Amino acid sequence: GQNIDQPTEMTATEGAIVQINCTYQTSGFNGLFWYQQHAGEAPTFLSYNVLDGLEEKGRFSSFLSRSKGYSYLLLKELQMKDSASYLCAVMDSNYQLIWGAGTKLIIKP
């Protein structure tokens, strides 16, 4: 079966750095997405990786290793507004998005 694993919850301090990991087993691979979802709101797109390596976009970076079935989202200089769930999703060989359940990130002052 297809599976996306990510931690259920993480806590970090304002101003610090946090890394959210995601491992996946899917039938085929056409890219990995990270979305941010605030409580009661829709997911918003953060990043897309299809080749191995690090993609940097401001305070957020996303890393992919296809051979390991592994990605992480790195958030720097954490702000209180970064408190949200972070969803990892993989597009499989049928171009269907397989979603993780999300990691709830709690930022403390």
Partner 1 sequence: DAMVIQNPRYQVTQFGKPVTLSCSQTLNHNVMYWYQQKSSQAPKLLFHYYDKDFNNEADTPDNFQSRRPNTSFCFLDIRSPGLGDAAMYLCATSRTLAGADTQYFGPGTRLTVL
Q: Which two tokens stand for residue 81?
A: 């507004």
Please state the closest distance from residue 15 (CB atom) to partner 1, in A. 27
Please state the closest distance from residue 43 (CB atom) to partner 1, in A. 5
- Interacting residue ranges for partner 1, rule: CB under 8 A: 4, 30-31, 33, 40-45, 48, 50, 87, 91, 95-97, 99-102, 104
Closest to partner 1 by CB, 72 vs 85, is 85
Distance CA(107)–CA(80), nearest Å, equals: 6
Closest to partner 1 by CB, 18 vs 87, is 87
Please state the closest distance from residue 101 (CB atom) to partner 1, in A. 5
**E strands, 50-102, where?**
53-57, 60-65, 70-75, 84-91, 97-99
Closest to partner 1 by CB, 33 vs 72, is 33
Q: Which two tokens stand for residue 90?
A: 């993989």
| Side-chain-side CA neighbours of residue 70 (13 Å) | 7
Contact, 107 vs 98, CB < 8 A? Answer: no
Please state the closest distance from residue 27 (CB atom) to partner 1, in A. 14
